[in-house]
Amino acid sequence: MPTARRTLGIRTALAAATLLLASACGGTSPGGAGTGSSIPGGTGSGAARTLTVFAAASLRQTFTRLGADYERAHPGVTVTFSFAGSSDLVAQLEQGAPADVLATADERTMTKALGARLLGAEPRAFATNTLTIVTPPDNPRRITRLADLARDGVAVVVCAPPVPCGAATERVERSAGVTLKPVSEEQSVTDVLGKVRAGQADAGLVYTTDARAAGSAVDVIPLPEASAAVNTYPIAVTATAGGADAQAFVDLVTGPQGRAVLAQAGFQQP
């Protein structure tokens, strides 16, 4: 009988230990199912960590919102962003800048990152965007079409050719048979928009999403020729990404919640 009691005691202790271990591990594994959360990999608790995202300047509004959503669903995670021209972001990665996720405003730039072995997974397309014309409020130069931007005395700003919005501008010009003579070529679409808003230019070519976000700060002129230059936005985990958060953020952007946020900002689906 003493032996039976000892055996029973050992079994009871093992069962209790197993229960405690399961309780301690529940809901803390990276990428585990969240409780009451629609965010991919949502979890109730976790160790403090940082997720660094490099994203095209035109994604500032949408990604900032999605980053806040991700943090709420992943306690302990801080999402930090670097927004800039896509070509600048890839150059920073090539120089060793740390980042977990890269999102660019065109496939050409992402292909360059892939060729340089900067990515840890195949890129996934998640949105498309097109250009439009913006002018200061009340459109003082009476711009009505792309050809008006080539008139003498009209100060136009565009993105530099290496930047995705600049490459799109060149394609629009070729398609329409219009040659622009910009007074400046900027490194990001937000810089173009900023100069128009500040009254430093009569007009500029920016993404439709940036024009929408600017609201009454600019007038928007339709640009039918933009259909010849649709930019597709890809996203990917970088080669130096640490942990499961990078892939979970990519899943958020490419999933239903990300698509809804992007659509509200004027992005189209690829």
Q: 58 labelled as ligand-binding?
A: yes
DSSP run (H or E) holding 53:
strand 49-56
Residues 223/158, Cβ–Cβ less than 8 Å: no
- Residue 260 half-sphere exposure toward CB, CA atoms < 13 A: 9
Alpha-carbon distances of 91 from 68, 71, 185, 213, rounded to whole Å: 27, 28, 18, 27
Question: How do 219-221 and 131-135 pair as beta strands?
Answer: antiparallel
Q: 192 labelled as ligand-binding?
A: no
Query: CA 30 to CA 81: how far, in whole Å?
Result: 21
Q: 38 labelled as ligand-binding?
A: no
Residues 173/157, Cβ–Cβ less than 8 Å: no
Instruction: Specify binding-site residues for molybdate.
Output: 58, 86, 189, 207
Instruction: Specify binding-site residues.
Output: 58, 86, 189, 207
